[in-house]
């Protein structure tokens, strides 16, 4: 199965090309999954093309009853994280954790450094998750964590996780730019050997 290469997308009209429909339906009947999907569907149906992702996040949390949010943010987005915090704290209890917490030296873990001659603290997604777990957040928001760091944060987070900003230093945190720009498409589809 390779849906990205399918031209028909008849699943949109109800056709099942898989053999997992019954199994999936059982999972959606579980109360916690059903609640998330129902609220997500409610937001899509009522605010389609009306709300930004941030507005959808706020509405989703209100509808589902999440009242304590965690923000795991990249230090490179500290100003934006402050603004996000100030917006969300109007509606929820919010805890935020910077990626450099604990100040762990990259050299201590034998990690590569950007500049060899200086001290560099490694990002610490496991520490971010542990601190937000200790705060008992209902939902954690990834806000610009690096590739890999986002994966570890999600792995160690006790609360469900959503992404609000995905790190892309080249494209101003808009990774979709690669897929919607014919220049980047050409570069990515025809890489230099």
Contacts 24+ apart (CB under 8 A), 145-148: 145/72, 145/73, 145/74, 145/99, 146/74, 146/99
**Count of CB atoms situated within 10 Å of the CB of 193:** 2
d(C-alpha 193, C-alpha 191), whole Å: 6
The C-alpha atoms of residue 60 and residue 56 are separated, in whole angstroms, by 6
Residues of the chain with pLDDT under 50: none
Q: Give the whole-angstrom CA distance, residue 72 versus residue 152.
A: 12
What pLDDT is stored for residue 26 in this prediction? 96
In a domain, 49, yes or no: no
**The whole model's pTM is what?**
0.91
Count of the separate structural domains present in the chain: 1
Tens of pLDDT, residue by residue over 136-190, are 999 999 999 999 999 999 999 999 999 999 998 888 888 888 888 888 888 888 8
Nearest to 96 by CA among 142, 163, 52, 153: 142
Asked if residue 47 is part of any domain, the answer here is no
Residue 127 sits in a domain whose CATH number is 3.40.50
What is d(CA 9, CA 172) in angstroms, rounded to the nearest whole number? Answer: 32
Distance in angstroms (rounded) separating the CA atoms of residues 86 and 84: 5
Q: What is the pLDDT of residue 35?
A: 97
pLDDT, residue 192, reads: 78
Residue 10 lies in a domain: no
Does any domain span residue 30? no
């Amino acid at each position: 199965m390779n849906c990205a290469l399918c031209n028909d997308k008849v699943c949109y009209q109800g056709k099942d090309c898989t053999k997992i429909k019954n199994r999936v339906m059982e999972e959606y009947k579980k109360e916690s999954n059903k609640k998330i999907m129902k609220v997500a569907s409610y937001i899509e149906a009522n605010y389609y093309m009306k709300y930004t992702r941030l507005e959808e996040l706020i509405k989703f949390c209100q509808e589902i009853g999440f009242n304590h949010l965690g923000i795991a943010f990249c230090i490179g987005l500290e100003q934006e994280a402050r603004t996000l915090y100030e917006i969300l704290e109007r509606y929820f209890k919010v805890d935020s954790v910077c990626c450099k917490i604990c100040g762990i030296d990259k050299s201590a873990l034998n990690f590569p450094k950007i500049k060899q001659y200086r001290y560099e603290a490694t990002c610490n997604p496991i520490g971010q998750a542990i601190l937000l777990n200790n705060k008992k957040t209902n939902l954690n928001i990834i806000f610009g964590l690096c590739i890999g760091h986002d994966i570890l944060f999600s792995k160690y987070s006790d609360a469900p996780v959503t992404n609000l900003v995905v790190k892309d230093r080249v494209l101003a945190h808009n990774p979709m730019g690669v897929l919607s720009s014919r220049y980047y498409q050409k570069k990515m589809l025809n890489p230099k050997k």
